[in-house]
């Protein structure tokens, strides 16, 4: 466990001076602590922990900062779900029909080929990095379209050493989107099997 140095100026200024590895470990500790507070309905401590995490997490930071940013949002959302009226009021502008969202993403994917190129390059990097691996776990922090992972499934199924055990964890705020992605991926995996 890290010891907290005496504060100079801001009570949390030392947090910003942590090295990447120390920050990552501390973020894990804070996320687990916050999850325990949320599970225990200790909202005051959960809020204080979320405040600390928000000083370190960033959707534009290193890998651990990005993961922490998404988990922080999920923990805050879980707290808000205890008050359905408040939760709906704060999320009302985010509520888009899932079918509309999927249609827009599909059209974007079809009309702008640079996204397809990015998927191809990313998949090639994954295939090269995972050469010879028997198990691969991918975490998609912004899941919306299964096309990239379907293409990856197809490439991995043709490996000379055989396909690996592939696990894809997708993160999306809407369960319906995750269900559709899962259905398409399972369908493709069964077709390739």
Chain-centroid distance, C-alpha 61: 13
Q: How far is the C-alpha of 152 from the C-alpha of 119, rounded, in Å?
A: 9
Mean pLDDT across the chain, nearest whole number? 84
Q: Confidence band (pLDDT; 50, 70, 90) for 35?
A: very high
The 10 Å Cβ neighbour count of residue 54 is 15
pLDDT tens per residue, range 102-121: 677 778 777 877 778 888 89
Maximum mean pLDDT: which of 14-23, 84-93, 116-125, 129-138: 129-138
Q: How far is the C-alpha of 95 from the C-alpha of 163, rounded, in Å?
A: 39
pLDDT computed for residue 7 by the predictor: 42
> Residue 138 — left, alpha, or beta (φ > 0 → left; ψ -120 to 50 → alpha)?
beta
How large is the average pLDDT for residues 161-167? 93
Whether the per-residue pLDDT at 34 is higher than 50: the answer is yes
Fill in the DSSP letter of residue 42.
Answer: -
* Residue 135, C-beta contacts closer than 8 angstroms, at least 6 positions apart: 164, 165, 166, 167
Fill in the DSSP letter of residue 139.
Answer: E
Whether the per-residue pLDDT at 25 is higher than 70: the answer is yes
pLDDT computed for residue 53 by the predictor: 93
pTM of the model: 0.52
Q: How far is the C-alpha of 82 from the C-alpha of 88, rounded, in Å?
A: 11
**DSSP-derived pairing of the beta strands 135-140 and 165-170:** parallel
pLDDT top residue among 4 and 124: 124
């Amino acid at each position: 466990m890290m010891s907290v140095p005496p504060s100079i100026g801001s009570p949390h200024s030392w947090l910003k001076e942590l090295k990447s590895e120390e920050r990552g470990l501390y973020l894990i500790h804070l996320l687990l602590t916050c999850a325990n507070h949320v599970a225990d309905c200790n909202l005051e401590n959960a809020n204080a922990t979320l405040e600390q995490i928000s000083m370190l997490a960033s959707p534009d930071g290193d890998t651990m900062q990005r993961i922490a940013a998404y988990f922080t949002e999920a923990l805050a959302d879980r707290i808000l779900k205890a008050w359905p009226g408040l939760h709906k009021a704060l999320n009302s502008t985010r509520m888009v029909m899932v079918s509309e969202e999927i249609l827009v993403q599909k059209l974007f994917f079809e009309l702008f080929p640079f996204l397809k190129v990015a998927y191809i390059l990313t998949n090639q990097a994954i295939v090269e990095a995972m050469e010879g691996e028997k198990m691969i776990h991918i975490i998609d922090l912004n899941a919306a379209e299964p096309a990239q992972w379907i293409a990856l499934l197809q490439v991995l199924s043709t490996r000379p050493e055989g396909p690996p055990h592939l696990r894809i964890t997708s993160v999306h705020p809407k369960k319906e989107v995750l269900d559709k992605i899962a259905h398409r991926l399972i369908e493709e995996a069964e077709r390739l099997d």
